[in-house]
A and B are shown apart, each in its own frame.
Chain A
Amino acid sequence: MGPFIAQFLTGLANAAALFLVASGLSLIFGVTRIVNFAHGSFYMLGAFIGYTVMQLLPGAFGFWSSILVAGLAVGLIGVIVEMLVLRPIYRAPELFQLVATFGVILVIQDLALITWGAEDLLGPRAPGLKGVIRILGEPVPKYDLALIAITPFILFALWYLITKTRLGVLVRAATQDREMVAALGVNQSWLFTGVFFLGAMLAGLGGALQLPKGGADLLMDFNILASIFVVVVIGGMGSLPGAFIAAVLISVLNVFGVRYMPQSTLVLMYVVMAVVLIIKPYGLMGRKEVAGEHGQVGEPEQPFSPFGRRGRLIVAVLLIALATLPFLGSKFAMILAIDIIIVCLFAASLHFILSLGGLVSFGHAAFFGGGAYAAALMVHYAGSPMELAFVLAPIITGFLAIIIGWFCIRLTGVYFAMLTLAFSQLLWSLVFQWGEVTGGDDGMVSIWPSPWASDTTVFFYLTMIIGFGGILVLRHAAHSPFGYALRASRDSAGRAEATGINTKRVQFVAFTFAGAMAGLAGTLFVFSKGSIFPTELEIGKSFDALIMVFLGGVKTLAGPLVGASALSLMQDYLTRFEYWRLALGLLIIAVVIIAPEGIAGTSQKLAARWGIIRRDEVQ
């Protein structure tokens, strides 16, 4: 019994930081409807700032004041981010803000690096709470007990704030009905700023509070991001008690997982999440999403049509020009082009469901990585030749998409996004922890093309054929009756259903199709690199694809290609500099603010305005 209780207490203590950060994220989402990817960065900043202030303020008083100072400081940073980055783009298309918050992640990463250096900082121990207390003979660190005591206090304080104060009333009202609050004459932008302050402050507090149990390092932002999304989603978006329950559930489960199923702790977390969402799609304490709240925002896209003769000619000329690359460019130019074609196909597949289907997936990496791993496993275990892998891996990925889609398609908007994220994380954790089969962190190496295709030039042509073939198939699908049915389901589900279209089935098929195409991109990827690692399944990979699509322009067919090429070239160029994240992050934020329709969308608009192309030529 003693060890059992001790483990339970460890879980409760671990839940403290998780709850704080997650509740901040949940609050921000509830009021502003912004999924703040940068929330992990606020947490990391809290840790770094707390560490620094603790060096200056001695003693127990200094320690606890440092935590408060860190919270306040991060809250102010949140305000700055909200006012500078998010305010200009509240009117942008649905979920566009997430691209901006991703830019913020990059910026904060490098600013933290510049300020605190790259070395991990081991947090100072809490003065007066260094020892243990024996509970039923088991040692329990005093600081753990302090954390366990603090968490309910903060939950209560938040509860008081939300239920008993004017700000709280507004926050609740805004969570229920934003238009109503605006109609009541409340200055919405200041309400948003206030909520951002509160949310960021909670994350900062969380970061500072965990210092004695961990420290501050530059990986903290992404390391906690997945967990807090899990907590927020399990608890129900916008629900504080939900976040608390979920944080405790996940943390306690994790502690017991380490003890009893050490190889599957991560899998466990995502399985719990998936199960909860399948039973309660809106989380343990979440509300059903108000229909229509996440429909298309902004003006609808222009009707588009397939290329005419001139357009096809131009595409053909461009492809032929690219095909001469082996004769003109260096070997590296070919390798870069291969990389770009692969990400173009990946981005185009996401664009297909995201733009045409209106289904914003946060977990598209599941299919890219899934395809790559399917091919790698086939080659590694079955000695399958490359040619067979190119056929079967996308099909396998399609089946994977059928399974994931079966659970996800029922949901819409941000809940759909979150569930896709959960499933892709589940897949990642499976690959990551099932080391005997997948190699875990070590990945799978020596997955090389067949001898005839192993020459870079040959593989370049192969990539061109398969990559552009895939892109053309996706484009053609957009113009086919199926593509129209998909757009119809997005434009007006009611009309579509009332004219015989089974919108969910159409979306399901589209999801599967897009998954298979991402799998094709993944297959190309694994043979081009000769190896595959779980990083290709990580959240960051899904984010990459989202950024490419949004950056290029959601509402144009060329968007994903433009976005993917632009981001790849920017990355290729910028990563040679020391602080490339800062530059890339600022660039992304700039694009988001200046060109909210994306690069392709905005340049089309400008071109039309300046008379370079006719309005009806805009697709």
Chain B
Amino acid sequence: MTSVLEVKELSKSFGGNHAVNNVSFAVGAGELLALIGPNGAGKTTCFNMLMGQLAPDAGEVLLDGENLVGLPPRAIWRKGVGRTFQITATYPSMTVVENVQMAIMSDKKRLFSFLPYARNLYREEAVTLLDLVGMAEQADRAAAILAYGDLKRLELAIALAHKPRLLLMDEPTAGMAPSERIKLMQLTADIVADKGISVLFTEHDMDVVFAHAHRVMVLNRGEIIANGSVDEVRDDPLVREVYLGGGTVFADKEESENA
């Protein structure tokens, strides 16, 4: 399997504490890869390094063989990596469709263009994307007044705006009702399957993980302790030990995580 993303010996420590220690893995083309682990395992740190928000102490992040380490988030995005945030980040002063248009304008390098009306630019493309996530009828509402689940879907539409090859989703279903979680993840799975996008996501809700992930990696204390199919990981005694022995259960609803 060709891999889109390859992570080699990635490390980061904060004041002697190894948040991420020598982590290596790869994301295959079209693969839906889940990164799980108890709180403080280093998932978000890992994510932030992949997205360029945090500089690793050592290691490489290769996107189709090209090293992303040292690039700022916006450059990594331009290379074809989209992301959603654990706590949604949208532009509350704009309408739903404008949020998506903004990302398309950025992709088309129209950020410094003064002449056209932004609201007319790439509106159709944006509405198509909204349609994809089932938000088309809300296109002209203010993003500020959306329900949380809708914001998550809007974020997904934004993340798809520049036709990414890889999508990084940090707890895509955090803060949603359980029934909504499955729906959103199903939607995501369908879209990426359709478009051939690879996805790396972290998740607390094991139902979501086991229902949709092609493969699961388990991070504990900054190290990968398991990496395999859903069934393999579920039956892994070490994983059970980490989750159960650490006082954390699979159904943990805790949303927050230390960076």
Contact = CB atoms under 8 A, between A and B. Distances in A.
Interface of A: 299-303, 305-306, 476-477, 479-485, 487-488, 490-492, 494-502, 506, 509
B165 interface: no
Given A497-B73, A499-B102, A499-B161, A481 B116 contact: yes
Given A481-B111, A484-B105, A485-B102, 8 more contacts: A300-B93, A302-B142, A306-B117, A483-B118, A484-B101, A491-B94, A495-B85, A498-B83
B118 to A, nearest CB: 4
A339 B128 CA distance: 49
A500 B94 contact: no
B215 to A, nearest CB: 25
Nearest to A301: B93
Interface in B76-110: 77-78, 83, 85, 89-95, 98, 101-103, 105-107, 110
Contact of A481 (B92, B113, B142): B113
Contact of A494 (B85, B107, B112, B161): B85
Contact of B77 (A301, A492, A500): A500
A302 B143 CA distance: 9
Contacts of B204: none
Contacts of B93: 300-303, 487, 490-491
B119 interface: yes
A488 B104 CA distance: 13
Contacts of A299: 144
Contact of A492 (B72, B89, B95, B119): B89
28 contacts: A300-B92, A306-B117, A479-B119, A480-B115, A480-B117, A481-B112, A481-B113, A481-B114, A481-B116, A484-B98, A484-B101, A485-B106, A485-B112, A488-B94, A488-B102, A491-B90, A491-B92, A492-B89, A494-B85, A497-B72, A497-B73, A498-B73, A498-B74, A499-B103, A499-B106, A499-B162, A500-B74, A500-B103
Interface in B115-167: 115-119, 121, 142-144, 158, 161-162
Contacts of A498: 51, 73-74, 77, 83, 85, 89
A536 to B, nearest CB: 28
B118 A481 contact: yes
A303 B94 contact: yes
A499 B158 contact: yes
Contacts of A482: 111-114
A483 B77 CA distance: 21
Contacts of A306: 117, 119
B77 A499 contact: yes
A500 B107 contact: yes
B47 to A, nearest CB: 11
A495 B89 contact: yes
A477 B83 CA distance: 29
A384 to B, nearest CB: 27
Contacts of B161: 499
Nearest to A491: B91
A477 B74 contact: no
Interface in B23-51: 51
Given A487-B91, A492-B91, A499-B103, A303 B142 contact: yes
Contacts of A300: 92-93, 142, 144
Contact of A497 (B74, B92, B114): B74
A497 B85 CA distance: 12
Given A306-B119, A498-B73, A485 B111 contact: yes
A501 B106 CA distance: 6
